[in-house]
A and B are shown apart, each in its own frame.
Chain A
């Protein structure tokens, strides 16, 4: 089976130590995490991890079950890129002098959907949001002008088919949870 990119979405309690418990599920199996984001979710008090890995579907399924086995994990999902809407954000710091002299800032902004976040005398910080290929392209463009700093955020993703976690959580909270909240998908 082919390896491919999977985005894993994990709904969890906000618990100190859970990040490392989730991280070691991957490191123990020598699986590299391409990107990891933790953030609040649509439900107050519930955290959401977004993890990107390159794996076979068989292995992703097993990993997801190992993640769900953690006591503080409510639910984990895995999706291929076509099943999600996702974005990453990148910041680029360049010398303002260089940029002003040699490039048409306007054009840059337009072409790559970039936006100037900070413009100072000594440097300018641009921001782009998009898929990896898009953010990568701007690096190439800016490199000749002396890219002082570059950073890209982890992926955040919305599952197209998801109707959110509010309803599921109510099921989990019931002392006698509904049958389907106890069911693990095949």
Chain B
């Protein structure tokens, strides 16, 4: 069948909705699908049986795993991730991943099977109202009941998912639409939808106003988010800060858009970010926000956030402008276009005194926090020294996928990155269970790169079944469990803000190495400083997947910290 379509694209040929779907995916250059079959999507899986050569289907162990894998794939490759799931429970299992992809602007297209159209609304077996359930967590969704719509709907889906501010799209296809045949008219990619404006028009008057403000600044400060990565504007961004000599700090989602050792890079913003960028947010005179959305984890208490500063906000999504922080000059548009326009207008200036302030505070943070976190001489292993050792072995070339909790904050604080798209984490939703499946996707999206999943002993058990996917699909990811025998981040809050009332944070774990062995994945466990480096080297040199469990200090805390309800300048070093 596929051969016929290949040869006779112009000639009319009769296809089923299922074949039309697969042909549409191929026309969108999709090669990898993450999925799980079931009754309502069986015609698609039946068609897939004949598409072995063009499409690789990764059978996951849970649909949440499929969508997180697709997210990891998208984040590592810059392409759109694709998911198949069946109706009812298959579709509802996607919801967490959709919400995660929505808040972190990740392009994903999910195809769900649906019951026969004549059964819609009858509480039929495995029928759920997927369109309404997923409406708030998708950029767009659509139910197909007529197979003839499939090529155009898929074209729209891929266009919407990947353009403008990217996001997840879900297409629900009833079983009759998968089965019914129609005359294939060919596939046309979508490049325009009249009601959809992916990029607001760039207004030169605002570029001029922004440039004038920046040129007049004595203490300009750039903060950047994932918009730089999504806009593929890393080079434009670097040129911008280098010409202006601006100190620049990243959000967790913007991390790796600028090499972490760049001389103008002053660290991570936010609750567990670095000391200097948080404190000096409240001292700068012009704050230039690029492709970020002023999340509350970044701003802390809003009425104490950068009140002294004039604010310039560059964003592709007009709804983000003035949403959290009132801007002085809004710069709507794709930062790949707007940044060079600003750079052109910059006067070369010397901000080295201002930059020195960042270095001064960084030194303080180093003395109080970082030194003992990265180079402890006695006591239990720290998460920080594990990450430092990883950096030393990989030279910052690896993709690090993190789960959620203390290990995430430590990994993001201390990981070194040379390349963009190297830090993959659930930033907006904070989804425990994200890392293991996302690492699978990241490895398939960037097979040439080393992919390390850094996960807590709590989070790993949320999606540990994906070890089965790693086993079966032979995905050589490296799994680094930082085991503190607690739900560490929650324990930290209970210690600091709830009088150490450790309420249900004491979590017991199986023998993870044995569990991995059960899936035929090699691994080991270390708890001694002396054996850490060798164990990491073994893991990273291993050809196949590998699980390394590192026992770390039970009650270590992540600092600095901006306590909830406090302003960024109230950041605590201990």
Contact = CB atoms under 8 A, between A and B. Distances in A.
Interface of A: 12-13, 16-17, 20-21, 24, 28, 58, 61-62, 65-66, 68-69, 71-74, 169, 172-173, 175, 177, 179-184, 186
B199 interface: yes
Given A17-B135, A65-B318, A74 B194 contact: yes
B248 to A, nearest CB: 27
Contacts of A66: 319
A177 B332 CA distance: 16
B280 to A, nearest CB: 28
Interface string B192-205: 11111101110100
Contacts of B194: 74, 169, 172-173
Interface residues of B, number: 29
Interface in B327-341: 330, 332
Contacts of B140: 71
B195 A182 contact: no
Contacts of A71: 139-140, 160, 193, 195-196
Contacts of B302: none
A68 to B, nearest CB: 7
**Which are the 5 A-B pairs with shortest beta-carbon distances?**
A182-B201, A65-B319, A184-B318, A172-B194, A74-B195
B168 to A, nearest CB: 13
A175 B193 contact: no
A62 B200 contact: no
A176 to B, nearest CB: 9
Given A17-B132, A24-B136, A184-B200, A68 B193 contact: no
Contacts of A58: 322
Contacts of A65: 318-319, 321, 323
Contact of B319 (A28, A69, A179): A69
30 contacts: A12-B195, A13-B195, A16-B143, A17-B132, A17-B135, A17-B142, A17-B143, A20-B135, A24-B136, A28-B136, A58-B322, A61-B322, A65-B318, A65-B319, A65-B323, A66-B319, A69-B318, A71-B139, A71-B160, A72-B195, A73-B195, A74-B194, A74-B195, A172-B195, A175-B191, A177-B197, A180-B201, A182-B201, A183-B201, A184-B318
Contacts of A180: 201
Interface in B125-153: 131-132, 135-136, 139-143
Given A69-B317, A71-B140, A186-B330, A62 B197 contact: no
Contacts of A182: 197, 199-201
B323 A62 contact: yes
Main secondary structure of the interface of B (DSSP, over half): loop
Contacts of A177: 197
B58 to A, nearest CB: 29
A103 to B, nearest CB: 47
B417 to A, nearest CB: 31
Interface in B306-350: 317-319, 321-323, 330, 332
A65 B200 CA distance: 12
Contact of A21 (B135, B143, B191): B135
A155 B135 CA distance: 26
Contacts of A17: 131-132, 135, 141-143
B196 A20 contact: no
Nearest to A24: B136
Nearest to A13: B195
Contacts of A74: 194-195
A130 B332 CA distance: 41
B109 to A, nearest CB: 14
B407 to A, nearest CB: 31
